[in-house]
Amino acid sequence: MEDTRIIGDLLLSKNFENFSFRRGYNFSLFNIKTDKLSAPGNIFLNLLNNYELIIEVLEKSKSIIQEPYWNVPDFIEKNLLKHDKFIAKFISTEIENFICENNSTLSHLQKDLKEIESVINEVKKDKEYDLVEEMEEDKSKIIDKLKKYKDRSKNLEGYISKLILTFTNYKTYLDLYFGILDNKKFKKQNLSYFQSFFMLEFDIPKHKMSQFFIENNQITLANNMLLYCYKNLREKTKKEHLSDDEVYSELFEMNKNLLKNNEIFTLRNYEISSLKDLFCVFFNYLFENNITINKCKNCSKYFIPANRTDEKYCENISPQNFNKTCKEIGSKLSFAYKRDSEPISREHNKTKVALSMRIIRAKKKNDFEEVNKVAKHLEKYLSNYQKKLNNYNKHKISEEELINWIISQKEI
């Protein structure tokens, strides 16, 4: 429709840095600063990490649907803006597009109805009844369509519900594909539940491809290379006028060096007009480049693993300690959880602590006989513990027997 905005043109051209999928560069594009880009870009990860909030805002927006309807996209944008500017504008624009399309279709149908009624009246005057009967059928079809588009509140509510379902299904598919969801959660689900997201469409939206290179933290499109070479050559030679041969020679050398060093990259500018389009673009990129998405075991945020695909912790700021990342404190948290949650490890830790505290107290009293006695017992305990644990792992002794022995070692 004429009034519909292509979100790709409206937003992605200004946020193209998120679609370059290059890791580790720091450059500016369209006057927007970017830093440490990581595939597949911040947009998709932010979308996944704000899932619950987006669903909550969309559900609430259905309760305020009323004339003139523009209050709905405004409400969505306002409530998402403080969390992510791109997502706020993206989703509100998609809703806005739907309202425009519905209004435009309604307007055209009303116009068509008036026109066909006018023609029917003219035909009746000429007593061409065969034509009247045929045109009355067309009029009836237009009236049926009008009924559908006239209930704009119901249509908008239905579209938002469909958008929520689309988002949920694509996200669920991603969680299953990357092994993020626990399969136990799906044991009681029937086949129809799975069909909703295993039959998703992955149509790549229309897009344009451009080549570019990076120079001095600036991105230059390949079709501007000639002008770039001309300006660069003038600065180097200080000449007022340059011959075509000089410029083309500079262009040839530059292109040769860029190709040799693999410094010519490709940008794809997608004409994205829906949340579904956005998922399709990113899914395509993830699959094509064998990129994995994980969910942090500490902060529960989605992230792209930097080194190993089975990384459990991200490099975001940890919620427990703002001076450390989840990766920095993750292993300690994992060890502490394992230590405190497993009965054998828990009792083993208690025994070690109890004997260690006896040594500390004896030292304070200068009772070195006690210190030596308990220290030897602790050393012997640790050695025997490993043997007992090996026997337990080989099913030679039970868990109860091992735990009782560990507890008994507190006393000498």
Report residues of the chain scoring pLDDT below 70.
1-41, 129, 182-191, 193-195, 197, 214-220, 259, 261-263, 265-269, 331-341
How confident is the model over 137-150, as pLDDT tens digits?
A: 889 999 999 998 99
Interhelix angle 152-177/85-125, rounded to 10 degrees, is 140
Every domain of the chain and the residues it spans: 7-198, 207-270, 342-408
How confident is the model over 301-328, as pLDDT tens digits?
A: 998 887 788 888 888 888 888 888 888 8
pLDDT at 178 (0 to 100): 87
SS3 410: coil
Taking each continuous run of H as one helix and of E as one strand, the counts in the chain are 15, 7
Query: What is the spatial order of strands in the sheet that 265-270 belongs to?
Result: 32-33, 28-29, 218-221, 207-215, 265-270
Q: Give me the sign of the Cα torsion angle 155, 160, 164, 169.
A: positive
pLDDT at 400 (0 to 100): 86
Q: Name residues whose C-beta falls within 8 Å of residue 88's C-beta, 6 or more positions apart in sequence.
A: 76, 77, 78, 79, 80, 81
pLDDT at 36 (0 to 100): 34
Contact 54, 91 (CB under 8 A): yes
pLDDT at 183 (0 to 100): 64
How confident is the model over 72-96, as pLDDT tens digits?
A: 999 999 999 888 887 888 899 889 8
Residues in the chain: 412
Distance from C-alpha of 157 to C-alpha of 61, rounded to nearest angstrom: 9
Distance from C-alpha of 175 to C-alpha of 44, rounded to nearest angstrom: 14
